[in-house]
Every structure is written in C-alpha cells, then in structure tokens.
Amino acid sequence: MEKLKDHDALVKYRKSLESKRRPDMIRVLICTTGCRALGAEEVYKAFKLEVEKQSLKDKLEIVDTGCQGLCARAPVLTIEPMGIFYGRATETDVPEIISRTILKGEIIERLCYTDAGKRTPYIRDIPFYGKQKKIVLRNCGNIDPKRINDYILRDGYAALSKVLTTIKPDDVINEVKNSGLRGRGGAGFPTGNKWEFVKKAVGDVKYIVCNGDEGDPGAFMDRAVLEGDPHSVIEGMLIGAYAIGSSKGIVYVRAEYPIAVEHLKIAIEQAKLLGLLGNNILGSDFSFDLGIKMGAGAFVCGEETALIASIEGKRGMPRPRPPFPATSGLWGKPTNINNVETFANVPIIILKGSAFYKAIGTETSKGTKIFALAGNVKNTGLVEVPMGTTLREIVFDIGGGIPGRKKFKAAQMGGPSGGCVPAQHLDLPIDYETVKEVGAIMGSGGLIVMDDSTSMVDIARYFMEFCQDESCGKCVPCRVGTKRMLDILTRITKGQGKKDDIGLLKELAEVTKTASLCGLGQTAANPVLSTIRYYLNEYEELINKKDAPSLPQESQTTQT
Amino acid sequence: MHKNVTLNKENTPSVDLTKCNTILSKYSKATHADLIPILQQIQDAYGYLPMAALEEITVRTRIPISKIYGVVTFYSQFSMEPRGRHTIKVCVGTACHIKGAPDIKKKITEVLHINEGETTSDYKFTYEPVACLGTCFLAPVMMVDGRYYGKLTIEKTETILKSY
Ligand SMILES: Cc1cc2nc3c(=O)[nH]c(=O)nc-3n(C[C@H](O)[C@H](O)[C@H](O)COP(=O)(O)O)c2cc1C
Ligand code: FES
C-alpha cells in the first residue's frame, strides 16, 4: 500500500478497486464477531477449506464480517447476490450449503429463518430487516472490517476527502449543527454545538476522544460498530478533529471487548499505511494521530470526566463540571468527547448532506438510532430504526414478539439510568423527549424486553445493586443513597418490607438525584421511580404480604 | 467498586521479575498515563499483580506505591491475588439477569464452593461476575477463559464446569 497523496489519488484508488471487482462471484458473508460465541469461526474455516478442496476460488468468495443483526439465529450467514439468509449453521452444514445452495441454487429449509412455522429464505422478506433503516450500520455485516479496501469501495473516506478539499472547518460544524445530530451516548447533547465549544476554547493542543466504554449492562451497539465497521468511527473522528482543530485522538474501549480492540488496531494501521492517518493527510496541512486506550473494568469510566481521569492513568472518578471537558479536559486541554455511534453518523451527514439526514426522524431527534434488542423477545439482535419508530414496531414487528405463551410487560430502556416503559406506551414514537416523558431515557440504546413473569421490584433491586456496586464512592449522596435504597429494596423482595418503605424510597431517590456529583448518582434512582410509577401494586403486594416467598430473582429461569 | 484486598504474604509464591522488567523496559520515560497499560500487561503476563511487581513499577517509574495501589483497587480487572488456571466470567447483565443468571451463579457456588471474586483452593478456577459480555442474545452466558457458553441451564453449567 502506498500513501494516497491527494483527493484524486483516493478517487483513482477506489476506481482501481472497483475495476478489480468480480460481480460474477458468489459471496458468502459470515459474521465472525458476535456469532463467534456459537462457533462462527469454525463455520468460516470450514468454508475456506471447502473452497480450497473443491477449487472454487474463482466462483466463491468467503468474507468474515461484523454483526448482521439477527443474533438470535447465530451463527448467521448471507449468500450474495441471491440474498439468502441462513442461521444456526454449523461446520457440518458447509459442504451441503456449497453443493446445494451455491452450486445448484436450492434452498436448505432447515437453515432458513422461521416464524410460526413459516420459512423465509430471502433476507428481503424477513420482517426483522424490513422496518429497519441502516445508516450507521450500512457496512456492518456487509464488509470485512479488517480490510480498509472494503470500506473504501463503499465510499469510505470520501467524506473526509470532501471536507479536506472543499469545506472549511466552521462550515463542517454548521453542517453537523444543521443535521440535528445529537449525542448517542445517552444525554443527547447537540453534537455540532459541542464541536463549536471546543473549537472556540483556547488551547495550544486539543484532543478528540471516542467513548467506547459501553457500560450499560445489556447493550452492545457500540461493540458491533467498532467490530463491524471501525473505519466509519475513525473517519467520523477525523472529520471532527479537522472541524475543531485537533491533531490527537484517543479511542477508549471497554476491557471486555477484545475483538473491537483488535479490529480497531488493524484499521488504524491500514489507515496509516494509506496516509489517511498521520501527517498531511491526503496532501492537506491537516495531521492527525489516533491511539487506543483500554478500560480496566469500571462502569463509571463511561462518564466523561471519569473517562479522562482513567486515560490519565488515575482512579476513574468523576469531578464536578464546569469546567466542562470542552474547555478543560485531558491534561487540562480542551477535549471533545463523543460516543462511538455519534462519530459513525458523521461521514454520512457530510457525504449526503444535512438535508438528507434531517429528513429522517422526529421534530427534535434526527436520524436513526441503534438498539440492542435483548431479553424476552424472539429476535434478539441489533436493530437500527429511524427516530420516531414506535416501541411496538421494534418489539413486535422487528423483534417478532414475546416467545412462549407469555405477554409483553415492559421494555427497559437506558439501563441503570433509565426506566421501564409499560405496555400502555407501546405506541409511543421513540425520541429523546418522548421517552423521558414516560420516565425512561433513550440512553445508549439498550432495550431489554420483559415478559409478565418478570418481577419489577426485582428489576429495581437489580439496577440498584449495580449502581451501588459501581458508585465510585467520591460523593456521599451517591455512595450512601444507593446503599440505603438497595437495603430497602432487598428487604422488600425478601418479604420483609415495611409500610413506609415506598415513601422512604421516594425521599432517598429525590436526594440522591439532586445532590449527587455525576450522572451515575443523579440517575441511579430512575429504575426505582419508574417501577414505582407503573407497578406500585407489585411493591404493595410484597410489602403487605408478610412471609412472601423469598423473591423472584432466585427462583425464576425463563428459557427460550 | 473498591475491593478489599487482603495480602497474604505466606501464600504468595516468590516471583520471578524477568517478565515484569521486560515490560517496564519498554517504558523508559513512563508517565502516569502509562500506569494502566503497564498494569494490564503485567497482569496478562502473571495472571495477577504480584506485590513485588508493583514495587518494581514504583522504583522504575517513580509513581508512588500509594497511587499504584489506589488504581489497582479501583478497577475490577486488576487482582493482587494469584488466580486460578481458568477464569470463569459469569454475565450478570440485565438480559442475563432476567433469563436466570442468579440461578447459574448459585450453581457455580454450589459446585466450586466459592463465591464471586474468589479462587478455588487448588487454584483451578477463579470466579468473577461481569456486567454484560455483549452477547445478550445468548443469555444467560458465561465465559471460561476465552470461550463463551450461551443459553445456560443449571444442568449445562454443571457439565461445563466438570469438563475442565
Ligand atoms: C455513569 C455514566 C456512564 C456513562 N457511560 C457512557 C458510555 O458507556 N458510553 C458513552 O458514550 N457515554 C457514556 N456516558 C455519557 C458520557 O458522559 C458523555 O456524555 C458522552 O460520551 C458524550 O458523547 P455524545 O455527546 O456523543 O453522546 C455515561 C455517563 C454517565 C454519567
Ligand atoms: S446481559 Fe449478559 S451478555 Fe449482555
């Protein structure tokens, strides 16, 4: 690989890749990231071996990709150009897939997606994919994330080259502002405005940081993006860095995500070789270096000031804001922190324009949102939908509904800072504001579906235990407040609740919310308040019924 | 957060610092920002953070031992006790919780006679909880060393543990 010296060189490089394309080839796309947990690597190897054995090199290409979305059917594979989707494939299925489907065009029924006895071989007919709109996930599952050429072939780095040659930094910021993009890390702060603050802040050095800590238990969106399309995040960071005047970036990745780190490392190396990272990128006077930092297991490190402390090598404890990182962040310098998904949105906004982007979504929330759909739902997996899609569409149309004979009870959104959305709000169009109104938060995108066998008091206790454990202990309201609330909730689930426990919980919740130092404590009571709001009867039942059997968290296993 | 670390010197085997020194020699001008990566590499090499290695870091980097200790005890990834040959990570994330992770945890304790965060006396297993392994579609999940085991049942858990 040779360094691309300017915009034209990139265009030429893409053309040369295009000319080498073989549209006559059949491609088998296999997810080897999330699906690895169920033997996808063995399936991939078996395909490679078979191609070798049967000398099919000129006919068949095997591509290992990132997440294809329908994780419930893992390991999954797609056969292009036919668009056949197979799930739960094992290495022993491979010879048959080749001899029947690839060479003869036959469908193997047992590997097809089925719902209520109906088999759906083609991806275009599977309802799970029908209602989705893949913007951020446009490449995820379609390319080999370890090959920069795959990304470049799909217009990768075209947005970067566009800004470097034709758009001034201030206009990049304006374009992002106009698009209406809001931070996907949870709070939904307008991204363009944040960039403007950092741009205007005084400092000889400025940093840009990507928050890939993804600590919400039950969420895996950022993991999928980093694993399946790392270059889109790198390109988003490059554009942000150019806009705010930064030449040094860091991606902070959670310790539990080794594949994400591996793919990022490869992506950074390849981008360097092509001159897309480093000095004088594409012949411009813009230079940018990117490094990776691995977390060491602490939820609170997802909070931006704690994350900064952690990168600096300290205990990851938050500090009061202001000053905001935008004016005083990493080593006291102006620092821009955005979430993985936020950055991955940026190249599309630049390439297709803010008008295109703004046309998707609701009044206050533009674009799409990725959700990690899990829990008691048939099609667990990764979904991307326009803002404003209803919960019903996500859980029932895309998710396929609740398995077994159970009924939908609630969807937990926003993890430990969020709340439970009950059945009466299923038709709510989801955006930052509406979700807040019903007592949950958009959060980072974890969406856990619960059926009618789930005890809501247990869920409240579960999240409180999580927050209490992860509280860094620096401020008293959070450290003591979470502990006291946990004590009360545990007491209630054990059937030892007292008459005034609910009042006490509400009071503690209020204090912890108003007096805590960072978002962890400020939101820790949300799951409690939201369950009291909608499921007060469950609390009362447990409190009134003395000697209730020691409760659900210990006695319940729902299997699908 | 905040683990209580009890240092049991008698049980701590004497430590060969060669690997530690090789790691530290890559950081001739180490700053505070290098501390976590150094600790991660040492833990990778030894399976835990021996006290002698922490003392060596202090000498070489001049980062006070109190600061190092503060960092080590803050992050759940770090351990100052020798660990078992196999690490069992049980997911206690939300999806796994509602699909029965508490039962799986009980079973592990029953089979191995240890609680979360502990190591069996024969140093075969270390058992730790982790909040979401990012494979919620497999809930409930556990990981033994690098390998995932999904859609666990109590019976399956026992079989898996006994296979090691
Ligand atoms: C306790 C706590 C945990 C957080 N965890 C994350 C996280 O895992 N990932 C993330 O992007 N933001 C997280 N945030 C939000 C960040 O502080 C910050 O707002 C965000 O990274 C900004 O990026 P955005 O504007 O692109 O959303 C967390 C906040 C709090 C209070
Ligand atoms: S909650 Fe267990 S893997 Fe996500």
**Which amino acid would we find at residue B59?**
V
Ligand index nearest the alpha carbon of residue B132: 2
Query: Atom 1 of ligand 2 has which residue's CA nearest to it?
Result: B93
- Residue ending a domain, among A358, A393, A414, is A358
Q: What is the pLDDT of residues A307-333, one digit of tens each?
A: 999 999 999 999 999 999 999 999 999
Give the model's pLDDT for residue A556: 40
CB contacts of A554 in chain B (<8 Å) are 102-103, 106
- Strand partners for A450: A410
Task: Tell me, rounded to whole angstroms, the distance of Cα A366 from its chain centroid.
Answer: 17
CB A250 within 8 A of CB A288: no
Nearest one of A278, A275, A291, A248 to A148, comparing CA atoms: A275
End residue of a domain, out of A95, A112, A130:
A130
Q: Which helix (H) or strand (E) holds A27?
A: strand A26-31
Is the CB–ligand 2 distance for residue A218 below 6 Å?
Answer: yes
pLDDT tens track for A271-296: 999 999 999 999 999 999 999 999 99
Domain count across chain A: 4
Q: What is the DSSP letter of A428?
A: P
**Cα distances (Å, whole numbers) of residue B146 to A76, A542, B77, B143:** 21, 41, 15, 6
Q: Does A113 touch chain B (CB under 8 A)?
A: no
What is the complex's ipTM, to 2 decimals?
Answer: 0.89
DSSP H or E stretch at residue A241: helix A230-244
Predicted local distance difference test score (pLDDT) of residue A547 = 53
Q: Is 90 exceeded by the pLDDT of residue A241?
A: yes
Q: Are residues A184 and A56 in the same domain?
A: no
Q: Does A509 touch chain B (CB under 8 A)?
A: no
Indicate if ligand 1 lies below 6 Å from the C-beta of A212. no
> Which residues are CB-contacts of A113 (< 8 A; sequence separation ≥ 6)?
A70, A73, A85, A87, A119, A120, A121, A126, A128
How many A/B residue pairs have CB atoms within 8 Å?
149
Are B136 and A454 an interchain contact pair (Cβ–Cβ within 8 Å)?
A: no
Question: What is the Cβ-side half-sphere exposure of residue B159, based on CA atoms within 13 angstroms?
Answer: 6
Residue with tokens 């990507």: A210
Partner-chain contact A313 B95, CB within 8 Å: no
Task: From A457, A484, A456, select the one nearest A468 (Cα to Cα).
Answer: A484
Q: Same structural domain for residues A196 and A80? A: no
| pLDDT at res. A37 | 86
Using a CB–CB cutoff of 8 Å, tell me whether A209 touches chain B. Answer: no
Cβ atoms A258, A177 nearer than 8 A: no
Q: A558 pLDDT band (50/70/90 cuts)?
A: very low
Question: Does a structural domain hold residue A5?
Answer: no
Nearest CA to CA, how far is B99 from chain A (Å)?
5
| pLDDT band at residue A60 using 50, 70 and 90 as cut-offs | very high
Q: Does residue A418's CB lie within 6 angstroms of at least one atom of ligand 1?
A: no
Which residues fall within 8 angstroms of residue A187, CB to CB, at 6 or more apart? A519
**Residue at B81 is within a domain:** no
A466 and A548 in a single domain? The answer is: yes
Measure A156 CA to ligand 2 centroid, in angstroms.
32
Q: How far apart are CA A408 and CA A394, in angstroms?
A: 12
Residues B113 and B53 placed together within one structural domain of the fold: no
Question: What's residue B50's pLDDT?
Answer: 95
Tokens for A343, please give them. 């950055």
In a domain, B64, yes or no: yes
B132 CB within 6 A, ligand 2: yes
For residue A164 the two structure tokens come to: 């470097």
Indicate whether residue A189 lines ligand 1 (CB < 6 A).
yes
Query: Is A528 in the same domain as A412?
Result: no
Per-residue b or e along A475-489, where b marks 16 or more CB atoms closer than 10 Å to that residue's CB: bebbbbbbebbbebb
Q: Is A470 in the pocket of ligand 1 (CB under 6 A)?
A: no
CA of A185 to the centre of ligand 1 (A): 5
Q: What is the pLDDT of residues A7-45, one digit of tens each?
A: 999 999 999 999 999 989 999 999 999 998 889 999 999
Does residue B18 sit in the same domain as residue B68?
Answer: yes
Residues A534 and A502 in one domain: yes
The number of folded domains in chain B is 2
Torsion of CA B53, B57, B59, B63, to 10 degrees: -140
| Within a domain: A549 | yes
- The residue-averaged pLDDT of A225-241 equals 98
Q: Is residue A265 part of a domain?
A: yes
| Domain-located, residue A147 | no
CB distance A326 to A200 below 8 Å = no
CB contact under 8 A, A375 and B132: no
What are the residue ranges of helices labelled H in chain B? 18-25, 35-46, 51-61, 65-74, 94-98, 101-112, 154-162
Which among B1, B31, B137 has the least Cβ separation from residue A374? B137
Residue A295: give the domain boundaries: 156-358
Query: For residue B12, what pLDDT is reported?
Result: 54
Here the CATH number for the domain that contains residue A334 is 3.40.50.11540
A95 pLDDT band (50/70/90 cuts)? very high
Please check whether residues A460 and A447 belong to one and the same domain.
Answer: no
CATH of the domain at A407: 3.10.20.600
- With helix as H, strand as E and coil as C, how does A284-314 read? CCCCEEEEEEECCCCHHHHCHHHHHHHHCCC
pLDDT along chain B (164 residues), means of 10: 52 80 93 96 94 95 95 94 93 94 96 94 94 88 90 95 95
Q: Whose CA is nearest to atom 20 of ligand 1?
A: A185
* Single-letter amino acid, residue A466: F
Give every CB contact of residue A393 below 8 A, 6+ residues apart in sequence: A131, A385
Determine whether the shortest distance from the Cβ of A181 to ligand 1 is under 6 A: no
Confidence (pLDDT) at A17: 97
Q: Which two tokens stand for residue A28?
A: 């088998």
Looking up tokens 């944040």, which residue turns up?
A194
Which ligand sits closest to the CA of A198?
1
CA of A283 to the centre of ligand 1 (A): 34
Helix axes A526-544, A476-493, angle to 10 degrees: 30
Residue among B136, B93, B100, B158 at smallest CA distance from A556: B100
Q: Which of A214, A299, A375 sits opposite B98 (nearest CB)?
A: A375
Q: Are residues B60 and B123 in the same domain?
A: no
Ligand 1 atom closest to A416 (CA):
1
Residue-by-residue DSSP string for A483-514: HHHHHHHHHHHTT---TTHHHHHHHHHHHHHH
Q: Is B32 on the interface with A (CB under 8 A)?
A: yes
Amino acid sitting at position A163? V
User: Is A459 touching B (CB cutoff 8 A)?
Assistant: yes
- Cα–chain center distance at A481: 30
B96 within a domain of the structure (yes/no): yes
Mean pLDDT score, A118-147? 95
On whether the CB atoms of residues A130 and A249 are closer than 8 A, the answer is: no
In a shared domain, residues A444 and A462: no
Residue after which a domain boundary falls, among A95, A130, A165: A130
Query: Residue B106 sits in a domain of what CATH number?
Result: 3.40.30.10
- Confidence at A555, pLDDT banded by 50, 70, 90: very low
Task: Give the pLDDT score at A553.
Answer: 47
- Asked if residue B70 and residue B90 are part of one domain, the reply reads no
Determine the average pLDDT of the residues in A507-524. Answer: 96
CA-nearest residue, atom 3 of ligand 2: B136
Distance from CA of A25 to the nearest CA of B (A): 32
Where a domain ends, among B44, B74, B104? B74
Instruction: Report phi then psi at A331, rounded to 5.
Output: 45, 35
Instruction: Output the DSSP codes for A356-409.
Output: HHHTSB-SS-BSEEEEEEEES-SS-EEEEEETT-BHHIIIIIIT---STT--EE
Q: pLDDT averaged over chain A? A: 94
Same domain for A177 and A272: yes
Rounded average pLDDT over A64-91: 96
Ligand 1 site, residue A209, Cβ cutoff 6 A: no
H or E element, residue A422: strand A419-422
For atom 29 of ligand 1, the residue with the nearest CA is: A303
Task: Compute the distance from residue A339 Cα to the ligand 1 centre, in Å.
Answer: 7
Q: How far apart are CA A244 and CA A323, in angstroms?
A: 18
A376 with B98: Cβ contact below 8 A: yes
Helices A221-228, A340-352: inter-axial angle, 10-degree rounding: 60
Q: Which domain holds residue B18?
A: 9-74
B79 lies in a domain? no
| Token pair for A337 | 């922190």
Looking at residue A168, its pLDDT comes to 97
Q: Indicate the length of chain A as a whole number.
A: 560
Question: In B81-151, at which residue ranges do the beta strands (DSSP E only) sit?
Answer: 86-91, 118-119, 125-130, 142-144, 147-149
Same domain, A60 and A89: yes
A152 pLDDT more than 70: yes
Instruction: Specify whether A413 is located in the same domain as A429.
Output: yes
List A374's β-bridge partners, or say none: A448
Mind listing the pLDDT tens digit for each residue in A420-434? Answer: 999 999 999 999 999
Residue at a domain's end among B74, B97, B113: B74
First CA to last CA distance, chain B: 30
Distance (Å, whole) CA A40 – CA A37: 7
Q: Does an H or E element contain A233, and which? A: helix A230-244
B27 CB neighbours in chain A (<8 A) are: none
Domain boundary among B74, B94, B115: B74
pLDDT of res. A559: 39
Cα–Cα dist A520/A512, whole Å? 10
Residue A44 is part of a domain; what is its CATH number? 3.40.30.10
A444 lines ligand 1 (CB under 6 A): yes
- Residue B1 counted as domain residue: no
Are A222 and A66 in contact, with CB atoms under 8 Å apart?
no
Q: Residues with Cβ < 8 Å from A375, sequence gap 6 or more?
A: A218, A412, A448, A449, A450, B94, B95, B98, B99, B136, B139
Nearest CB to B93 within list A72, A217, A294? A217
How remote is the CA of residue A219 from the centroid of ligand 2, in Å?
A: 8
Q: Which CATH number goes with the domain that contains A475? A: 1.20.1440.230
Let me know whether A437 and A484 are in one domain.
Answer: no
What is the rounded CA–CA span in Å between residue A62 and residue A78? 10
Do A288 and A314 lie in one domain? The reply is yes
